[in-house]
Structure 1
Amino acid sequence: MLSFLTGLIGALTIYSGYAKDTLFKLEAPLNYTLLGLFLFAIFYAVCAWGHSLLAIKIGDCPILPKSQEAADYIKLSDESDRVEYIYNCYVGTIEQLSDVIDEKSVNLTYAY
């Protein structure tokens, strides 16, 4: 998607250079309409490109606890506390990760 949008922006730029005599010559109402539509197309493509970048950007992703304290707690705790701790870490991380994925999917939806 990002490569396609980059190519589209490049193609629109090439087109604006090729059709500069007719595109930027504002003598008739049709020329104003063509320029407005062209600017709208560029704005739309650039916004979609930006949302695509936001969708692939790696942000603050939650991770499971990986400190020495967490490992010592798991090692020294009894079976039920250990299972509950690992379960809570897993569920908490998955909930946070699903929020991050939902934010990314919104940006991807805007890009399309």
Structure 2
Amino acid sequence: MDETISYLKDRFKEEQGRFDHFENKCAKFLTAVSIVIAALSALAGLKNGILFQVTSPFAALIFISFAATAICVACSWGHAFSALRICDCPSLPSSRKTAEYLLAVDAEQQKLHIYKCYIDTIEKLQVAIDAKSKPLDLAYSELVWGAGFFMLLAILTTIRELTS
């Protein structure tokens, strides 16, 4: 049983590390997307809002590219926020009740209780990590789509500037 508890202790530390990794990744991603939103806002204001002047089919295509970029980036930002959402990081029971229980029972019951605590907490950590990874994966995918639309916007804007 001691080896099992030692193994579970290592897995618990590993899962806590993964949880911290996802928290840090979410924060960094949210910062990066916020910078992209600021850049898009600045771009929208250039040349008296020329992106919003839909005077021809080509200008409409430019506007649609900008709108698609903005929507993708906004969705990415929302999913990054969702992933960063503050939630309890599952931890091992550390209450007085648990400590008193461990004092009151024999060594085998102590080990069994500690075993169950580790198993339950590791399972809760895995669920919390999965809950963070899904919206973070969506946020990344949406940012990739946004980058594609932004590239299209840059190409179309360059063509418009070169032909006018």
| TM-score normalised per structure 2 | 0.64
Greater helix content = 2
Aligned to 1:68: 96
CA root-mean-square deviation: 1.4
Deviation by residue 1:4-60 (Cα, 9 ceiling, x = unmatched): 211111111111100444311122111111111101101111111122222222213
Match of 1:8 in 2: 36
Q: Counterpart of 1:50?
A: 78
2:109 pairs, out of 70, 77, 81, with: 81
Letter in 1 for 2:118: Y
In 1, Cα distance between equivalents of 2:123 and 2:48:
52
2:127 to 94, 99, 107: 99
Structure 2 letter corresponding to 1:45: V
Q: Distance in 2 between matches of 1:61 and 1:37?
A: 40
TM-score of the two chains, using structure 1 as the length reference: 0.90
Q: Distance in 2 between matches of 1:68 and 1:81?
A: 17
Give the aligned residue type for 2:96: Q
Q: Unpaired runs of 5+ in structure 1? A: none
Q: Percent identity?
A: 35
Relative contact order higher in (CA < 8 Å, ≥ 6 apart): 2
